[in-house]
Amino acid sequence: MQYGRRHALQLISALTFLPQQSLALAQSPVGSTTETLIRLNLPGPGSLPFLPLELISSLGFDREIGARLVLRYHPSGIRALEDVLAGNADFAALGFPTLPVLMTKGKDAVAIAPISGEQQVFHLMVRKDLAKKITRIKDLAGHTIGTSTGSPSSKTYMQMMAEIVLQAHGVGSQQVRWLPTGQNWESASGAFISQAADALFCEQPFPNRLLREGLGVTLLDLSDKRTHAGLPGVNALRSVVATTRLFLNQPDGQRKAELMVRMLRRTLVWLRAATPQAVAKQANMRSMQERQDITDLLSKTPLIYSPDARFNMRQVQDTDVFLRAAQGDTTFGQAANHIDIRWSGQSA
Confidence of residue 162 (pLDDT cuts 50, 70, 90): very high
Q: Which of 240, 236, 241, 224 is nearest to 327 (CA)?
A: 236
What is the C-alpha separation between 257 and 237, in angstroms, rounded?
Answer: 20
The tens digit of pLDDT for each residue in 118-128 reads: 999 999 999 99
Give the CA distances from residue 207 to residues 1, 45, 127, 128, 216, in Å, rounded to whole numbers and listed in that order.
Answer: 17, 15, 11, 12, 8
Does one domain contain both 105 and 149?
no
Residue 216 has pLDDT above 70, yes or no: yes
Q: Which of 100, 101, 93 is nearest to 44 (CA)?
A: 93
pLDDT at position 105 is 87
Residue 232 lies in a domain: no
Q: Which of 127, 149, 131, 134 is nearest to 200 (CA)?
A: 127
Residue 89, domain extent: 5-118+237-347
Q: Which of 275, 279, 270, 283 is nearest to 309 (CA)?
A: 270
The tens digit of pLDDT for each residue in 260-274 reads: 999 999 999 999 999
Helices 185-193 and 5-17: angle between axes, nearest 10 degrees: 150
Query: How many domains, in total, are found in the chain?
Result: 2
Confidence of residue 170 (pLDDT cuts 50, 70, 90): very high
Does one domain contain both 60 and 141?
no
Residue 238 has pLDDT above 50, yes or no: yes
Does one domain contain both 324 and 242?
yes
Which CATH number fits the domain that encloses residue 139? 3.40.190.10
Does one domain contain both 289 and 302?
yes
Within 205-334, strands assigned E span 216-221, 239-244, 311-312
pLDDT at position 33 is 57
Does one domain contain both 300 and 252?
yes
Q: Which of 118, 115, 117 is nearest to 265 (CA)?
A: 115
pLDDT at position 71 is 98
Q: Which of 142, 275, 297, 145 is nearest to 211 (CA)?
A: 297
Does one domain contain both 37 and 171?
no
pLDDT at position 330 is 63
Question: Which of 209, 227, 245 marks a domain boundary?
Answer: 227
pLDDT at position 27 is 40
Residue 132 lies in a domain: yes
Q: Where is pLDDT greater, at 277 or 105?
A: 277
Per DSSP, the three-state class of 73 is strand
- Range of lowest pLDDT (18-32, 88-102, 123-137, 179-193): 18-32
Does one domain contain both 273 and 332?
yes
Does one domain contain both 92 and 155?
no
Question: Which of 171, 202, 227 marks a domain boundary?
Answer: 227
Q: What are phi and psi of 239, to 5 degrees?
A: -125, 145
Q: In the beta sheet, which residues pair with residue 146?
A: 179, 200
Q: Where is pLDDT greater, at 19 or 96?
A: 96
Does one domain contain both 194 and 255?
no
What is the C-alpha separation between 31 and 297, in angstroms, rounded?
Answer: 34
Mean pLDDT of 314-333: 86
Q: Where is pLDDT greater, at 166 or 5?
A: 166
